[in-house]
Structure 1
Amino acid sequence: MAAPLAPPTAARLGRGLGHPASSRSLCWLLPGSVLKNILLLVFKKLMHGQLPILLAIEFHVTGYIIIFPTESGTATVRKGRIYHETYGCQMNVNDMEIVLSIMKKEGYNDIVPDPESAEIIFINTCAIRDNAEQKVWQRLNYFWFLKRQWKANVAGGRSKSLRPPKIAVLGCMAERLKEKILDSDKMVDVVCGPDAYRDLPRLLQEVDYGQKGINTLLSLEETYADITPVRISDNSVTAFVSIMRGCNNMCSFCIVPFTRGRERSRPVSSVVREVGELWDAGIKEVMLLGQNVNSYNDTSEVEELEPGKNWQLSEGFSSRCKVKNMGLRFADLLDQLSLEYPEMRFRFTSPHPKDFPDELLYLMRDRHNICKLIHLPAQSGSTEVLERMKRGYTREAYLELVQKIRNVIPDVGLSSDFISGDASMLISRKLHEIKAQIAGFCGETEDDHADTLSLVRDVGYDMAYMFAYSMREKTHAHRNYEDDVPNDVKQRRLAELINTFRETTRKIYDSQIGTTQVVLVEGPNKRAPETELFGKTDRGHRVSFTSLPVPHTSEGDGARKPVVGDFVEGKKIIFLLAFFVIYRIILFVTSEKPMAGVVKINLDASLHAETLSGATGVVACDDHGEFIAAATWYLPLISIVDSAEITAIQNGFMLAANIGCNRLIIESDSTFAFEGVNQVDAYLGPDLRV
């Protein structure tokens, strides 16, 4: 074999770098201009399989041919190490998990924690606000620096990688700014839109041929339903599941329909399958995702579709996009998931207020494992601004929907979106995952802003996400409106919006002090990881608590410390630290659903000194009196007797509905029981006898 033609330093590049040739003693770097034309055909064959020769050959646009001796007579190209970053919404996080699954199937198994040691850099982007895009540009400049540094390190024999890093921009910004990204000093190699992730391996291969890889085509069908995402966080007990993609609402300020395309829904069966895989992997809570998640409409598994005119909208709301055919809706999917996986908790985001039919609200009320937190994006409290935003509702219709939701689900938590400044991201971390409201939209007056502040006070949100409006190209607002609110005015209005929200949310959180909550334990508390754990309540409030042995409902009189993945029951006691005192570890569900049966409620509360609370027991039996299930709700002593009994009756109705019982027996020496039945008559279903 011929002697190396490259400098001696190049021979060291093949050692200890994970390449098939890394255990060999030799590696040659030849000027690409000499052998490019001769070896290009051989290289292409190599890239499409195995080459039965004694040399593995890789051509790089940096001007080198890298040749590795092999022992077996066959050479396989090693896939590059991947580093990834994600910006934006939960949908982007789930998209990155899909991307990693696609790459893993193609043999890209190495994920590295830092970009300096990566050969492929994925940056998944967000185009909702200008601030998010500026962060991406800053990171791209750094990644480009790494690429330039690689060339210098190769010349000096200091390279940690055999390849220069390939930089790939993914997601919404890729679709929106594809030309600008590719023209920016050639810093980016691949631009891939949200519907083209299956094409990523081919696009990366195009870069090896000296071409740019680009695919930003939007699809009317792509949902990635057949792909099981690679979970980025292996130690988490929560996960995201995307059930639909795209948005048809065409709000005047929003870029999403132009970067994500039109709505299309995954088949119910594929969602149920993925959730089942997550349950088998130990996941206890799933967040169902979609740009407009509650407009889910699966027409793939329904033989006879209903006409779209039967699509029920929230009262007082309208839609600019008409539904052609109606299949299985979001309530149907949520119904099936909550029944098939009763020990798993479900959340969903991000919905549109127009798609909250009665059946969805009653389902949320009656199922113990559907979290009682509804994200209800308002965007503005002014009817005039809402009209310019093309939201399809008025302030009055929005407030009526809020009242209806609270009538059906009394203990519901609400979050919202409002458009005003970048400080909101800091606020959101301090106030437990706040979601979004726009301040400073085109033409917004001081009166319009005052309407938004009053809406925040009137509704009382658990969470909110607030930011200043930034004009997005392609949108209706960009084509028809002027961004006429000065930036300093936007920032002032944002500050006022945040302060108003803080005032109201403090009252909301204070009202939860002393109440009993069910919390999913998610991990150690960073403040005191050795002694404290943290988790989220049903309403999404983050709480922390001391890890001490407590009774476990499935272990008799035994006690143990809670662990990640446990559901615990306790009482919130402090707002500022969100501190929680736990009573016990509980089973999240009691039994499988029978065809029929009876629920007995014992309303004679007994005092438990160790927990300083009252207890109301609910027992479920079948038609023959055989025991099916039991549950106990702990109520604070400060509750008046009839209030505690009414709560117990409500719990009994909910248990009956969840396990399919059709009779309810109330046992009590108290006359309040009869008044309680009258007060909670709304919980009685047509098939439930008392």
Structure 2
Amino acid sequence: MNEEQRLQSGKLKPLTGSTQETGEKDYSKYFETVYTPPSLKEAKKRGKEEIKYHDDFKIDERFAGMGKGRKFYIRTYGCQMNEHDTEVMAGIFTSLGYEPTNTVQDADVILLNTCAIRENAENKVFGELGHLKPLKLERPDLLIGVCGCMSQEESVVNKILKTYDQVDMIFGTHNIHRLPNILHEAYMSKEMVIEVWSKEGDIIENLPKVRHGNIKAWVNIMYGCDKFCTYCIVPYTRGKERSRRPQDIIQEVRHLAAQGYKEIMLLGQNVNAYGKDFEDIDYRLGDLMDDLRTIDIPRIRFTTSHPRDFDDHLIEVLAKGGNLLDHIHLPVQSGSSDILKIMARKYSREHFLELVKKIKAAIPTVTLTTDIIVGFPNETEEQFEETLSLYKEVGFEMAYTYIYSPREGTPAAKMVDNIPMEVKKERLQRLNKLVNEMSAEAMKSYAGKVVKVLVEGESKKNPDVLAGYTEKNKLVNFKAPRDVIGQIVNVKITEAKTWSLDGEFIGVVEEDKVMS
């Protein structure tokens, strides 16, 4: 049975009001975005649509008690933005009366919050859907949903429609706030509910959140990306760049500080493009960091930044230090200007090195980490060697490294993927060898030193050992009383490993007040 037949048979039901009202038999408008592949040409035309700000989110009274006696389970794939989206959805679930569960076996609703950035991430989701099918057959009232970035891809939705009829709901990244409506429709119809918006998402404030723990918190400061790197699906799945108003961010961070959180991570697909879309005020990430610097919270970080938008004012503000940490994640992707051009990164090797020079001059203690893709179409051995040499020249202390894989709908997917897999793997091994060596070398410098560690909890490998991170984001394991969890402590490093440090607990740090 094809999609048209399934629509006519009533197996699929688009969500009423998801985009615009249609007649009973005209489903085409609902699926306009779903069945249109991501288009670079069309996406780059965006920007005419007004982004609206809503600060009045509330659960509709007709959905009150929907979750009474029911449990929810969310499995999250991908980046910190997805993790934060999960916190919001968990907040909505609990506001509806649902209770969380850690197992799919006793869940009444299962959501897979998906990542589209690499093929491997998508394959994991499809594998999980296969594993959930017997559970659905055993318990027909169970609701299974696919949300997040994968849901914004035409090919993914087509595949779910064709192969995974155990799925009850598909919704995208722009309409998480409509989860109560989507759940209601799924319960009422018992048919597949699809809500994927082509419109750019609005800014919705006052969404409920269930944060993981009470030590570190994520704070979205903007959504979307306008960079259109040729390999990246994010501009299509997350929409255009749109920034939250500064007063809303500052209020949220102040609230978290009052609750006792010790570290804030500011999130955005391209976080240092923050404020570029404001038409009424001249206010960028540097201004926001300068304002947040005066809030009494020990640590503030941000991710992920783009070299094109890392301006001098931001560097100047970060150099003030205090609770603005001297660890910067700065994705370079390649050390070759020619490959960077094909990637549409819009900077050269020389520009990147000049930026690093500025950062190091202003912040001599800075630690830099990065992202790198190997085996991009047409990458020669010489160009790969340029990546290795840039890594050494910058002195990165860690990198997330990846083999290039094409994402359907991106310009790079139309390029000839002419680097054999064995060559890609060999280059990745060589790169990782260098990454490991330089990480181990950087770690050696900590031996015998006392570092400040924000204690997050038990070590994953040993419950008798506590673990936390330094200001430079280095993992430290040490033995100490459990009542120091959630505090910043001094630890003397006794052993340096490639990716972590072992140490001896000295004592709790008396917190310094952040100076205005």
TM-score bucket (shorter structure): 0.7 to 0.9
User: Which of 529, 534, 538 is the equivalent residue of 2:467?
Assistant: 534
Deviation of the 1:545 alpha carbon? 2.2
Return the letter of the residue paired with 1:130: E
Q: Distance in 2 between matches of 1:458 and 1:370?
A: 25
2:177–2:207 CA contact under 8 A, matched in 1:
no
User: Which of 293, 315, 334 is the equivalent residue of 2:271?
Assistant: 293
Q: Distance in 2 between matches of 1:520 and 1:335?
A: 23
Q: Distance in 1 between matches of 2:236 and 2:221?
A: 19
Match of 1:424 in 2: none
Match of 1:563 in 2: 484
Tell me: CA distance 1:505–1:182, structure 2 relative to 1, closer, same or farther (3 Å). same
Tell me: CA distance 1:514–1:355, structure 2 relative to 1, closer, same or farther (3 Å). farther
Match of 1:498 in 2: 432
Q: Distance in 1 between matches of 2:129 and 2:203?
A: 28
1:236-285 CA-partner distances (Å, limit 9, x unpaired) = 41111111110000000100001000000111121122222322332111
- For the pair 1:544 / 2:477, whether they are aligned, the reply is yes
- For the pair 1:350 / 2:304, whether they are aligned, the reply is yes
2:174–2:201 CA contact under 8 A, matched in 1:
no
Q: Distance in 2 between matches of 1:562 and 1:335?
A: 33
Q: Specify which structure has the bigger relative contact order, considering alpha-carbon pairs within 8 angstroms and separated by 6 or more residues.
A: 2
What is the correspondence of 1:143-542 to structure 2 with a 5 Å cutoff? Answer: 143-150=132-139, 164-176=141-153, 177-207=156-186, 208-231=188-211, 233-234=212-213, 236-297=214-275, 304-305=280-281, 327-341=282-296, 343-418=297-372, 438-479=373-414, 481-530=415-464, 532-542=465-475
Q: Distance in 2 between matches of 1:488 and 1:108?
A: 52
Deviation of the 1:363 alpha carbon? 1.7
Q: Distance in 2 between matches of 1:588 and 1:363?
A: 22
1:191–1:215 CA contact under 8 A, matched in 2:
yes
Deviation of the 1:182 alpha carbon? 2.4
1:537-591 CA-partner distances (Å, limit 9, x unpaired) = 111001122327xxxxxxxxxxxx8611222234333112611234442233247
Deviation of the 1:490 alpha carbon? 1.1
1:434-490 CA-partner distances (Å, limit 9, x unpaired) = xxxx011111111111111111222221221011111011112123x1111111211
2:335–2:383 CA contact under 8 A, matched in 1:
yes
Tell me: CA distance 1:224–1:77, structure 2 relative to 1, closer, same or farther (3 Å). closer
1:18-38 CA-partner distances (Å, limit 9, x unpaired) = xxxxxxxxxxxxxxxxxxxxx
Match of 1:86 in 2: 76
Q: Distance in 1 between matches of 2:512 and 2:170?
A: 46
Match of 1:34 in 2: none
Deviation of the 1:108 alpha carbon? 3.6
Tell me: CA distance 1:279–1:218, structure 2 relative to 1, closer, same or farther (3 Å). farther
Deviation of the 1:298 alpha carbon? 7.1
Deviation of the 1:525 alpha carbon? 2.8
1:620-659 CA-partner distances (Å, limit 9, x unpaired) = xxxxxxxxxxxxxxxxxxxxxxxxxxxxxxxxxxxxxx45
Q: Distance in 1 between matches of 2:67 and 2:175?
A: 24
Return the letter of the residue paired with 1:447: E
Tell me: CA distance 1:121–1:590, structure 2 relative to 1, closer, same or farther (3 Å). closer
1:82–1:108 CA contact under 8 A, matched in 2:
no
Match of 2:114 in 1: 125
Q: Distance in 2 between matches of 1:535 and 1:401?
A: 30
Return the letter of the residue paired with 1:586: V
Deviation of the 1:393 alpha carbon? 0.9
Secondary structure of 1:539's aligned partner: coil
Tell me: CA distance 1:298–1:380, structure 2 relative to 1, closer, same or farther (3 Å). closer
Tell me: CA distance 1:97–1:77, structure 2 relative to 1, closer, same or farther (3 Å). closer
Deviation of the 1:130 alpha carbon? 0.5
Q: Distance in 1 between matches of 2:276 and 2:208?
A: 19
Match of 2:508 in 1: 585
Q: Distance in 1 between matches of 2:511 and 2:277?
A: 33
Q: Distance in 2 between matches of 1:284 and 1:269?
A: 20
Q: Distance in 2 between matches of 1:514 and 1:401?
A: 32
1:174–1:181 CA contact under 8 A, matched in 2:
no
1:79-127 CA-partner distances (Å, limit 9, x unpaired) = 432111000001000001111222333x242111111111111000001
Return the letter of the residue paired with 1:579: D
Equivalenced residue count is 447
Q: Distance in 2 between matches of 1:269 and 1:138?
A: 43
Tell me: CA distance 1:183–1:400, structure 2 relative to 1, closer, same or farther (3 Å). same
Deviation of the 1:412 alpha carbon? 0.8
Q: Distance in 2 between matches of 1:228 and 1:118?
A: 21
1:148-173 CA-partner distances (Å, limit 9, x unpaired) = 1225xxxxxxxxxxxx2111101000
Q: Distance in 1 between matches of 2:189 and 2:143?
A: 13
Deviation of the 1:209 alpha carbon? 1.4
Structure with larger Rg: 1
Return the letter of the residue paired with 1:168: G
1:299-339 CA-partner distances (Å, limit 9, x unpaired) = 66x8x54xxxxxxxxxxxxxxxxxxxxx3211111111120
Secondary structure of 1:124's aligned partner: strand
1:266–1:298 CA contact under 8 A, matched in 2:
no
Q: Distance in 1 between matches of 2:471 and 2:266?
A: 15
Secondary structure of 1:181's aligned partner: helix
Q: Distance in 2 between matches of 1:292 and 1:528?
A: 36
Secondary structure of 1:520's aligned partner: strand
Identity rate, percent: 38
Deviation of the 1:527 alpha carbon? 4.3
Q: Distance in 2 between matches of 1:517 and 1:562?
A: 19
1:461–1:508 CA contact under 8 A, matched in 2:
no
Secondary structure of 1:366's aligned partner: coil
- Which piece of structure 1 moves more, 380-389 or 222-231? 222-231
Tell me: CA distance 1:365–1:515, structure 2 relative to 1, closer, same or farther (3 Å). farther
Q: Distance in 2 between matches of 1:397 and 1:222?
A: 34
Match of 2:13 in 1: none
Where has structure 1 moved over 6 Å in runs of 4 or more? none
Tell me: CA distance 1:383–1:210, structure 2 relative to 1, closer, same or farther (3 Å). same
1:252–1:388 CA contact under 8 A, matched in 2:
yes
- For the pair 1:109 / 2:98, whether they are aligned, the reply is yes
Tell me: CA distance 1:203–1:283, structure 2 relative to 1, closer, same or farther (3 Å). same
Return the letter of the residue paired with 1:589: D
- Which piece of structure 1 moves more, 570-579 or 119-128? 570-579
